Structure 1
Amino acid sequence: MGVALKGNTRTNATKSEAKQLRRQGKVPGVVYGKTTDSLTVVLERKELVPLLRSHPNAVIDLNIEGVGKRPVLISGVQRDSLSQDVIHIDFHQINMNEPVKATVAVEIVGEAAGVKEGGILQVETAQLDVRCLPSDLPDSVQVDVSNLGIGENILVSDLKLPENVEVKTEAQDVVVTVLQPQKEVEETTADEPAAEAEPAAEEAAESKE
């Protein structure tokens, strides 16, 4: 089962109508599909925004009044450049019996051993591209970093996903790494000029002789 969301059809899909809807706390959108005509819809912002925060990549059971339920994935979100409020959303209607390409969030689990030693945890890949049946689409992929030391990393190829979920992200991409402590890096950088100055001083002394 997907995440439930209600919507209504729009009969007047103009810019002025869209602005009026936004003032009323609603978000205009479009549902696209390979085998169906596109459908303009409108949704309640108070219902849509929490869904975008908690399940942005989930299969959504979009219940459109007068049309019925349609299984969809979010394919695009348009936000205001200043306020970052959602001003438009695109849905892609899917067939539950056909594999889909989607993105899945990476969820970091545990505290890295390297972080306990002063290292800095850095996530390099926050989302994975996957291909699977809609019913097999995971909410997220957990990555346990408990045993990760300073200078170590976890690659996409190291992740364990269900057999029926195919990862499309490059296998050698780094998912998460633990960097050296910032203070240690700064001290190393500061020491380098002094080390380079020694040979120069020796050469100057030899030339005087």
Structure 2
Amino acid sequence: MAVTLDAQKRENLQSSYTKALRQSGEVPSIIYGYQVEPKTVAVNSLELVKTLRDEGKNAIISLQIDGETVDVILHEYQTDPLKDELVHADFYAVNMKEEMDVQVPISLEGEAVGVKEGGVLQQPLYELSVRAKPNDIPEQITIDVSKLSVGDSISVSDLKDGKGYEILEDEATTIVSILVPSAEPEETPTDEEQSEPEVINQKNKE
């Protein structure tokens, strides 16, 4: 089910007006995509951040613009690295009846047996490319790693397509593995341990 957000048309594109929008808590945005002429809008920053936090980055958002409803997905966004605030967002209008390709985050569940035995968990893949209709896109794909021992791994081929979506990644791609712990280097004597105490040297001189 789509989340509803209000959006206001943004016709003044001057930098001073855009700056004022951000200061008032609005995010300058653009909408484009399926059966939509590109249009500039602004949405409430707090509401958008809350939606992303609660529903995930692939959430379907119904933008309400002057009585018109447009179903979109957040395609890209920019943040201010110093203030950690949203400064711009791109919304892509979707066809709710047509499949689309998206990246879905991977969530690991459980503590691997191999980690308890001293192994090191390595996760080279953090997102999966999947194909699904907008309403069938999962928020995340959860993988249970609790039974993995040292030397074990999980690849894309070990996963099954979920209800309503198809995984597009190469089946040979490794998602997570438990590596053998590296041997600790032998301790070497320090310079102080190798040299004789100064008192002995003094006695030898005498």
Whether the TM-score (by the shorter chain) exceeds 0.5 is yes
Letter in 2 for 1:110: G
Using the size of structure 1 for normalisation, the TM-score is 0.81
Cα displacement string for residues 55-78 of structure 1 (whole angstroms, at most 9, x for unaligned residues): 1122222222x1422111111111
Q: Is the CA contact (8 Å cut-off) linking 1:141 and 1:161 kept in structure 2?
A: no
Structure 2 CA distance, aligned partners of 1:29 and 1:67? Answer: 18
Q: Specify the code of the residue in structure 2 equivalent to 1:58.
A: A
- For residue 82 of structure 1, report the CA deviation from its aligned partner: 2.9
The answer (yes or no) to whether the contact 1:29–1:91 under 8 Å persists in 2 is: yes
Q: Which residue of 1 aligns with 2:111?
A: 111
Q: Over residues 123-149 of structure 1, what are the superposed CA-to-partner deviations in whole Å (9 max), with x where a residue is unaligned?
A: 221111111111211111111111111
Per-residue CA distance 1:74-131 (angstroms, 9 max, x = gap)? 1111112433321000010001111111111112112211122122323221111111
Which one has the bigger helix percentage?
1
The aligned counterpart of 1:63 is 64
* Structure 2 portions without partners, runs of 5+: 188-206
TM alignment of 1:157-172, pairs within 5 A: 157-162=157-162, 164-172=164-172
Q: Larger C-alpha radius of gyration, 1 or 2?
A: 2
Alpha-carbon contact 1:123-1:175 (below 8 Å) kept:
yes
Matched residues, number: 186
1:116-195 equivalences in 2 (<5 Å): 116-162=116-162, 164-181=164-181, 185-187=182-184
* SS of residue matched to 1:170: coil
- List per-residue Cα deviations over 1:29-65 (Å, max 9, x = no partner): 111114220111111111111222331122222222x
- Counterpart CA distance in 2 for 1:16 and 1:120 is 51
SS at match of 1:13: coil
- Asked if the contact 1:105–1:126 (Cα under 8 Å) also holds between the matched residues in 2, the reply is yes
> Are 1:72 and 1:93, in contact at CA under 8 Å, matched by a contact in 2?
yes
The secondary structure found in structure 1 opposite 2:72 is: strand
Partner Cα distance (2:126, 2:17) in 1 = 36
Q: Structure 1, residues 139-187: CA drift from partner, whole Å, max 9, x if none?
A: 1111111111122211111112325412122221111122333xxx142
How far is the alpha carbon of 1:190 from its aligned partner?
5.0
Q: Provide the rounded CA distance (Å) in 2 between the counterparts of 1:53 and 1:179.
A: 32
Identity within the alignment, %:
38
**Cα distance change of structure 1 residues 5 and 179 upon mapping to structure 2, 3 Å threshold:** farther
Helix, strand or coil at the partner of 2:73: strand
Residue 77 (structure 2) aligns with: 77
